[in-house]
């Protein structure tokens, strides 16, 4: 009974984990919206304080000109002291708020805008009340508040309303009426100026709040486009037929990572998503130090599948080959031994890579500077038929396979050599058979051959010729492609066996292949990769 219930319990647990993962993504995205909005709010408020510190003393020139022309009775000394005090207030706030990260942004908002609003209101009241041209200062402050600090309108209404109402309140308390509401409301001129100035103030505040809300909505969409739950997308690293690879930043852990997003086109039955989830879980269980670690997966709000891998510093073996040319046999054997250990663990879990090539073998370094090779991309979410087909009628299948690959990721170089994934595909896979651990062995041996000699196992000018050679022509020993002594004779036999057309003639496992190569590998860690600067969040 316990055994019978175990699969059902496992399925329910997996289903619950998947649902929880999707819920967590949405929750994290909402939390990130709030954090980024608050961070933007804080930055804009600091910018407003900086502008206030710069502009406030400049408006002292306006006070001086007013005292010399149209308002000779203006208390210039008092106004200049007030301007100086506002400037000091802005400077002190800018210095203090930069370090006060825990102070709520709402408190920052009131500290930055409320005192200047009251000061400008007092200046307006002291220079004629509702008829004073100093009301332009309050208008400018309202415009600056709504433009510099975008956000949801409902959140900003209290501060903006206070700034608008500071004009009539200060005029009533400190203007000619002196707080006498009868004299205030009984004066037609006062009410006329009040209405004439309040209308544009309210209009500017309303338009500014709507514009602020629109800018905030655009920013939210930008966050959604550049965010994936707890991950912040930094830049695109590569793009292929199955999806896009991004460099990202894990917000909670504070470290870089790599995200591959897969767009499941025409997956109407949901089979691809189920297979993706199954293989992502299996791959995440791989613990070999020579396998890139997959530590998260899920589905975006747009229905795209994604999985998250560790970020590695270094370069792929294809990049190493392009940069340095053919590699020493001892280093190549050591790299391949690392890859064998990674693939051996995967094969014990019935995970077949299906796309081993130098581009998917990454040369990285450990914390103490030793070089290691890690196997990338275990073919997650790739539609591959697991069933085997009978061999035969090779000519007809050769044409179909060539046409399919010609339209995919294979291409011709300027010298007519076919380059791309088909260079490393096992013959039985090209013939329509299923890929198993022996197909991975062939692809790894073909990659080693390329790294040793600087050229693929087979050269061809057309796709048909490449496929025919892969399925029919025996490979040339790698020692014949190089100067004598560059490759030991014994290594020839090992690679030629792993490149056998018949899968049964290859090594029985990756472990056996590794044991055969190990005598030709130098001591692990004898070489180091170039030191690279660690990626940090800007």
CATH number, domain containing residue 457: 1.10.510.10
**Cα distance between residue 495 and residue 445, in whole Å:** 6
185: which 2 tokens? 């409301």
Report the 3 state secondary structure along 58-105: HHHHHHHHHHHCCCCCCCHHHHHHHHHHHHHHHHHHHHHHHHCCCCCH
Q: Are 431 and 347 in contact (CB under 8 A)?
A: no
The confidence score (pLDDT) of residue 11 equals 35
Residue 34 sits in the same domain as residue 111: yes
Per-residue pLDDT of the chain (538 residues; tens, 9 = 90+): 344 433 333 333 333 334 444 444 444 445 555 666 677 778 888 888 888 888 888 888 888 888 888 778 888 888 899 889 999 999 998 888 888 878 888 888 899 999 999 998 888 888 888 888 888 888 888 988 887 777 778 888 899 999 999 989 988 888 887 778 788 888 888 888 888 988 988 998 888 888 888 877 776 665 555 667 678 888 888 776 667 888 888 877 888 998 888 766 655 556 777 777 777 787 888 889 999 988 888 877 667 788 888 888 889 999 999 999 999 999 999 999 999 999 999 999 888 988 899 999 999 987 777 889 999 887 553 434 444 434 444 444 444 444 444 444 443 332 333 333 688 999 998 888 778 899 999 999 999 999 999 999 999 888 888 889 999 999 999 998 888 778 888 899 999 999 999 999 999 999 999 999 999 987 444 444 444 444 455 4
Q: Give the list of residues 6+ apart from residue 528 with CB closer than 8 angstroms, or none.
A: 365, 369, 370, 371
| Residue that has been written with the tokens 């102070």 in this structure | 103
Domain assignment present for residue 344? The answer is yes
**Cα distance between residue 65 and residue 527, in whole Å:** 76
Residue 188 sits in the same domain as residue 298: no
16 Cα distance to chain centroid: 26
Q: Are 358 and 316 in contact (CB under 8 A)?
A: yes
- 63 is a catalytic site residue: no
Q: Are 357 and 423 in contact (CB under 8 A)?
A: yes
Backbone angles phi, psi at 305, to 5 degrees: -85, 145
How many beta carbons lie within 10 A of that of residue 270, not counting itself? 9
Backbone angles phi, psi at 363, to 5 degrees: -90, 105
| Strands of 361-365's sheet in order across | 314-316, 361-365, 371-375
Q: Dmax of the chain from CA atoms?
A: 111
Residue where a domain stops, chosen among 267, 283, 311: 311
Residue 47 sits in the same domain as residue 79: yes
How many beta carbons lie within 10 A of that of residue 173, not counting itself? 14
Domain assignment present for residue 490? The answer is yes
Domain assignment present for residue 250? The answer is yes
Residue 206 sits in the same domain as residue 84: yes
The confidence score (pLDDT) of residue 224 equals 56
**Cα distance between residue 519 and residue 369, in whole Å:** 23
Residue 371 sits in the same domain as residue 429: yes
Range of the domain at 374: 315-379+407-533
Residue 101 sits in the same domain as residue 212: yes
Q: Give the list of residues 6+ apart from residue 416 with CB closer than 8 angstroms, or none.
A: 460, 461
The confidence score (pLDDT) of residue 496 equals 95
Domain assignment present for residue 248? The answer is yes
Query: Which helix or strand (DSSP H or E) is residue 445 part of?
Result: helix 437-453
Domain of residue 282, CATH code? 3.30.200.20
How far is CA 36 from each of CA 48, 100, 175, 207, 222, rounded to the nearest angstrom? Answer: 18, 17, 43, 24, 11
Residue where a domain stops, chosen among 255, 290, 311: 311
**Cα distance between residue 136 and residue 377, in whole Å:** 63
Residue 144 sits in the same domain as residue 73: yes
- The DSSP output letter for 529 is P
Domain assignment present for residue 120? The answer is yes
**Cα distance between residue 336 and residue 501, in whole Å:** 20
Q: Choose, from 296, 355, 359, 436, the residue flagged as catalytic.
A: 355
Residue 327 sits in the same domain as residue 444: yes
Residue 165 sits in the same domain as residue 297: no
Residue 26 sits in the same domain as residue 90: yes
**Cα distance between residue 255 and residue 249, in whole Å:** 6
Domain assignment present for residue 394? The answer is no
The confidence score (pLDDT) of residue 418 equals 34
**Cα distance between residue 506 and residue 483, in whole Å:** 27
Domain tally, the chain = 3
Residue 496 sits in the same domain as residue 458: yes
- One DSSP character per residue, 298-334 reads EE-TTS-EEEEEE---EEEHHHHHHHH-SPPHHHHHH
Three-class SS state of 464: helix
Residue 111 sits in the same domain as residue 152: yes
Residue where a domain stops, chosen among 311, 331, 363: 311
361: which 2 tokens? 């073998």
**Cα distance between residue 96 and residue 107, in whole Å:** 13
């Amino acid at each position: 009974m316990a055994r019978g219930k175990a699969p059902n319990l496992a399925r329910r647990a997996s289903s619950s984990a998947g649902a929880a993962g999707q819920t967590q993504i949405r929750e994290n995205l909402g939390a990130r919206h709030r954090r980024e909005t608050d961070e933007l709010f804080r930055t804009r408020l600091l910018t407003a304080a900086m502008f206030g510190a710069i502009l406030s003393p400049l408006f002292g020139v306006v006070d001086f000109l007013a005292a010399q022309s149209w308002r000779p009775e203006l208390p210039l000394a008092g106004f200049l002291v007030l301007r100086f005090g506002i400037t000091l207030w802005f400077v002190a706030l800018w210095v203090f708020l930069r370090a006060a990260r825990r102070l709520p942004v709402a408190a920052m908002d009131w500290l930055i805008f409320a005192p200047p609003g009251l000061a400008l209101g007092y200046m307006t009241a002291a220079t004629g009340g509702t008829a004073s041209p100093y009301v332009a200062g309050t208008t400018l402050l309202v415009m600056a508040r709504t433009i510099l600090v975008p956000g949801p309108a409902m959140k900003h209404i209290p501060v903006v309303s206070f700034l608008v109402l500071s004009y009539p309140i200060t005029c009533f308390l400190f203007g000619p009426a002196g707080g006498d509401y009868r004299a205030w409301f009984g004066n037609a001129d006062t009410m006329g100026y009040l209405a004439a100035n309040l209308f544009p103030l309210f209009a500017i505040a309303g338009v500014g709040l709507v514009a602020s809300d629109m800018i905030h909505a655009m920013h939210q969409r930008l966050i959604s486009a550049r965010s994936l739950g707890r991950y912040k997308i930094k830049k695109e690293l590569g793009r292929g037929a199955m999806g896009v690879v991004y460099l990202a930043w894990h917000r909670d852990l504070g470290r870089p990572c790599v995200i591959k997003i897969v767009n499941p086109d025409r997956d109407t039955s949901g089979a691809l998503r189920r297979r993706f989830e199954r293989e992502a879980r299996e791959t995440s269980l791989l613990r070999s130090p020579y396998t890139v670690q997959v530590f998260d997966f899920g589905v975006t709000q747009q229905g795209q599948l994604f999985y998250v891998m560790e970020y590695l510093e270094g370069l792929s073996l294809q990049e190493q080959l392009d940069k340095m040319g053919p590699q020493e046999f001892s280093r190549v054997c050591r790299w391949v031994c690392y890859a064998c250990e990674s693939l051996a663990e995967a094969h014990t879990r019935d995970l077949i890579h299906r796309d081993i090539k130098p581009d998917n073998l990454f040369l990285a370094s450990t914390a103490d500077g030793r070089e290691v090779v890690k196997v990338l991309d275990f073919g997650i979410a790739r539609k591959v038929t697991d069933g085997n087909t009978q061999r035969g009628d090779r000519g007809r299948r050769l044409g179909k396979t060539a046409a399919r690959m010609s339209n995919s990721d294979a291409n011709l170089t300027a010298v007519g050599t076919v380059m791309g994934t088909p260079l490393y595909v096992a013959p039985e896979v090209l013939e329509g058979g299923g890929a198993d651990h022996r197909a991975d062995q062939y692809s790894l041996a073909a990659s080693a051959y390329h790294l040793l000699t600087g050229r693929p196992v087979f050269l061809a000018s057309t796709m048909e010729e490449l496929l025919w050679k892969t399925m029919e022509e025996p490979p040339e020993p790698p020692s014949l492609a190089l100067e004598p002594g560059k490759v030991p004779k014994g290594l020839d036999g090992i690679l030629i066996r792993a490149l056998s057309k018949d899968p049964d003639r290859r090594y029985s496992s990756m472990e056996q292949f590794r044991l055969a190569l190990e005598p030709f590998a130098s001591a692990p860690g004898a070489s180091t990769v170039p030191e690279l600067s660690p990626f940090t969040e800007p």
